[in-house]
Chain A
Amino acid sequence: MTARGCTTVIASASLALSMTACVLLLRHLDQIRPKATIEDVLYIDSPKMVKRASLGFDGLMACIYWTRTVQYFGHRHYSRERTYNELAPLLEITTALDPHLLPAYEFGASFLAPPPPNGAGQPDRAIQLMQYGIAHNPDNWHLYYDLGFVYYTELRDYTKASETFDRGSRVPNAHPFMKIMAAQTAEHAGDYMTARMLWSATFDSSRQTEIRQNAMEHLRAIQVDEDVSHLQSAVTRFGERTGRLPSSISELCAAEHLPSIPVDPDGDPYTMTPQGRILVKNPDDFPFISKGLPPGYKPSGPPKFHSKG
C-alpha cells in the first residue's frame, strides 16, 4: 500500500471510530444526566425576548416553539407525568411569536385544560390562551367554540360557556351550531346530551385527525358513563324493591326487562361486583371515563386511542 493509501485507511478508521465513540458517549451521558436538564429547561422564558432574538424570522421561531411544545406535551403525556410546568410558557412564547398560529390555540387549550394525566390541569391558563387568540383572530369562530368548550367541560361554568358560544355565533361565517349550542348550554347544562352534542360538534367541525380522534374517545367515554349511570340506578331500584343486591348482572337485566346484558362501545358486556358496582371490562380502553372504574384503578400505561378520526 502506498503512503497515501495508508493515510486514507487510518484516517477513515479514526473517523468512524471517533464518530461511534461520540454517539455512544452521548447516549451514556443522556442516561446519567438528570432528566430535567434535558427536557424541562426553557432557556428564555420571556416571549418578548424570544421575539426580539428571532430577528424578524418569528414565523419560523413560532413553528420551532410549537414543535417543541408538542414534543414536550407528547412525551410527558405518554409517560403519564402529572406536571407540565413548561407547557403554558411554551404556548405563550409560541403564540407571542405568531399570534395567527391557530393549531397552537386549538391544541394548546386541550393540552392545558384537562386534569392530569390527560392534560396540565390549568384551565385558567387555557382560557388566557384562548382569549389572547380571540383578541388576535376575532373573526375565527373556532376559537370561541374552543373557549366555550373549556368553560363547559373543565370549569363547569355553563353561563360563561353559553355567553362564549353566543359571541362566537355572531362572528361572520360562524357555523350554525354555535347558536344551538349557546341555547343548549344555557338550558340543559351538565347533562349527557349536551356533552355529547359538544363532542359531536368537535368531531364534525374539525379536519384535524388528532382532534377528531380525541372527540371520538370522549364520545365513547360519554356512552360508557351514561350506560353505567343507568345500570347503577337500576341496581339501586332493584335494592329498594327487593331489599338485596342482584346476584348477577343477568338477574339485574331480567328485572329491568332488558333483552340482553348491555355492552360498552367495544361490544364487551358490562360486569357487576358482588357489592353491586357496575364496571367496564377493559377500563384502559376508555381513557376519559369517570364511571365504571374498579376501586383504586390506575391506568396501566399511556392512553390508548382506538377510534379512527
Chain B
Amino acid sequence: MSARIVHIARNTFREAVRDRVLYNLIAFALLLSGAAIFVSQISIEIERLVVVNLGLTAVSLFGVVIAIFIGIGLVSKEIDKRTLYTVLSRPVRRWEFIIGKFFGLAGTLVVNTFFMAIGVFGALLYVAHKFSKPDALILVALYFIILEFLIICSLALLFSSFSSPLLSAMFAFSLFVIGSFADDLRGFARLTHGFTRWFATGAAYLVPNFSTLNVISPVAHQQPLGAQLILQNSLYALFYTAMALSGAVLIFERRNLK
C-alpha cells in the first residue's frame, strides 16, 4: 500500500475519533450491561442468548449506522471544506484518495468492533460465569460483521463519490435493507417468468447479500459454521467491496470538481 494511502487512511481515522464516533461505545456498554443484569429478571432461560443476540446485533447496527453516516460525508465534506483541492494539488491520485478514505473508515469500524467485542465477551462471562469452546464462534460472527462493514463502507463511498450526503445516506440505507432481503429477492425471481425473471435475478445478484453474512442466530445456538462458509463469505465480501470501490474510483476519476 502506498504511503499516501496510509496517510489518508490515518487522517480519516483521526478525524472520525475527533468527531467523537467512539462515543457510541458508551451507549453500547450501557445497553449490554443493562441486558446482562436485567434479562434474567424479566425472562426465562435466555440470558446467554440475549447477550449474544443483542451484543452482535448492536455491534452490527451501530457499525452500519457509523459506516453510512461517516462514509457518505467522506468525499462531500472534503469538497465543501475545500480541503480536497489541497490534497489533490499534491502528488495524490484520486483513486488513492478514495482507497485511503475507505481504509480509514474501515479501520475506525474495526477498532470500534474490537472494543464492542470485549464488551460482548465481558457480558457473556457475567451471565455464564465461564467461557465454553463454542463461544469462539462469536469471533466468526464478529468477523462476518466486519465483512459487512467493508461492503457498506465501499457502498457509502460509491454513493458519496457522485451524490449529495442526504441521497447517499438514503441509497446506502436502502441497499442495506434490500440486501437483508436478498434471499427473498432471489426467491421472488424464481417465481417470475420472462423479462421480469431476468430483471429480478439481476437485481438479486447486484444488491449485496447481507443475509449470508448474518450468522448471529446459529452462533447464539452454538451451531458449528463450516470452513467453506467462512472462506466463501470472505471472498464474496472482498469481491463485492472491490466492485463498489472500483465503481467509486471510476466515477470520482471523471468527476468535475471545478
Question: Separation in Å of the B175 CB from the closest CB of chain A?
Answer: 13
Q: In the assembly, what is the distance between CA of A55 and CA of B60, in Å?
A: 12
Q: In the assembly, what is the distance between CA of A181 and CA of B37, in Å?
A: 40
Question: Separation in Å of the A215 CB from the closest CB of chain B?
Answer: 15
Chain A window 97-127, contacts with chain B (Cβ cutoff 8 Å), 1 for yes, 0 for no: 0101101000100000000000000000000
B147: Cβ under 8 A from any A Cβ = no
Q: In the assembly, what is the distance between CA of A52 and CA of B182, in Å?
A: 11
CB atoms of B57 and A60 under 8 A apart = yes
B245: Cβ under 8 A from any A Cβ = no
CB atoms of B46 and A55 under 8 A apart = no
Chain B window 30-68, contacts with chain A (Cβ cutoff 8 Å), 1 for yes, 0 for no: 000000000100111110011011100100110000000
Chain A window 126-167, contacts with chain B (Cβ cutoff 8 Å), 1 for yes, 0 for no: 000000000000000000000000000000000000000000
CB atoms of A55 and B180 under 8 A apart = yes
A70: Cβ under 8 A from any B Cβ = yes
Chain A window 60-92, contacts with chain B (Cβ cutoff 8 Å), 1 for yes, 0 for no: 101100110011000000000000000000000
Contacts of B217 in A (CB 8 A): 58-59, 62, 98, 100
Contacts of B44 in A (CB 8 A): 66, 70, 103, 107, 208, 210
A63 and B180 in contact, given A56-B214, A57-B57, A58-B217 (Cβ under 8 angstroms): no
A67 and B43 in contact, given A56-B214, A59-B220, A101-B49 (Cβ under 8 angstroms): yes
CB atoms of A100 and B221 under 8 A apart = yes
Closest to B50 in A: A63
Question: Separation in Å of the A78 CB from the closest CB of chain B?
Answer: 14
Closest to A97 in B: B217
Task: Pick the most buried of A59, A62, A71, A101: most chain B CB atoms within 10 A of its CB.
Answer: A59
Question: Separation in Å of the B179 CB from the closest CB of chain A?
Answer: 9
Question: Separation in Å of the A50 CB from the closest CB of chain B?
Answer: 14
Contacting A70 at CB < 8 Å: which of B43, B53, B177, B210? B43
Contacts of A103 in B (CB 8 A): 44-46
Contacts of B46 in A (CB 8 A): 63, 66-67, 101, 103
CB atoms of A71 and B42 under 8 A apart = yes
Contacts of B211 in A (CB 8 A): 56
Question: Separation in Å of the B165 CB from the closest CB of chain A?
Answer: 23
Contacting A56 at CB < 8 Å: which of B50, B180, B220? B180
Contacts of B210 in A (CB 8 A): 56
CB atoms of B177 and A66 under 8 A apart = no
Closest to B214 in A: A56
CB atoms of A60 and B214 under 8 A apart = no
Contacting B45 at CB < 8 Å: which of A55, A100, A107? A107
Q: In the assembly, what is the distance between CA of A55 and CA of B181, in Å?
A: 7
A52 and B54 in contact, given A59-B220, A70-B44, A71-B42 (Cβ under 8 angstroms): no
Contacts of B49 in A (CB 8 A): 59, 63, 101
Contacts of B50 in A (CB 8 A): 60, 63
B15: Cβ under 8 A from any A Cβ = no
B253: Cβ under 8 A from any A Cβ = no
CB atoms of B216 and A60 under 8 A apart = yes
Contacts of B220 in A (CB 8 A): 59
Give residues of chain B (211-254) contacting chain A, Cβ–Cβ below 8 Å.
211, 214, 216-217, 220-221, 223
A63 and B43 in contact, given A52-B181, A56-B210, A57-B60 (Cβ under 8 angstroms): yes
Contacts of A98 in B (CB 8 A): 217
Contacts of A67 in B (CB 8 A): 39, 42-43, 46
Closest to A107 in B: B44
Contacts of A101 in B (CB 8 A): 46, 49
Contacts of A100 in B (CB 8 A): 217, 221, 223
Query: Can you list 27 contacts pairing A with B, beta carbon distance less than 8 Å?
Result: A52-B181, A52-B184, A55-B177, A56-B210, A56-B216, A57-B57, A57-B60, A57-B61, A57-B216, A59-B216, A60-B54, A62-B53, A62-B217, A63-B46, A63-B49, A63-B54, A66-B46, A67-B39, A67-B43, A70-B42, A70-B43, A70-B44, A101-B46, A101-B49, A107-B45, A208-B44, A208-B45
Given contacts A52-B181, A60-B57, A63-B54, 7 further A-B contacts (CB under 8 A): A56-B214, A57-B57, A60-B54, A63-B39, A67-B42, A103-B45, A208-B44
Rank and list the top 3 A-B pairs by shortest CB-CB distance, nearest first: A59-B217, A103-B45, A67-B43
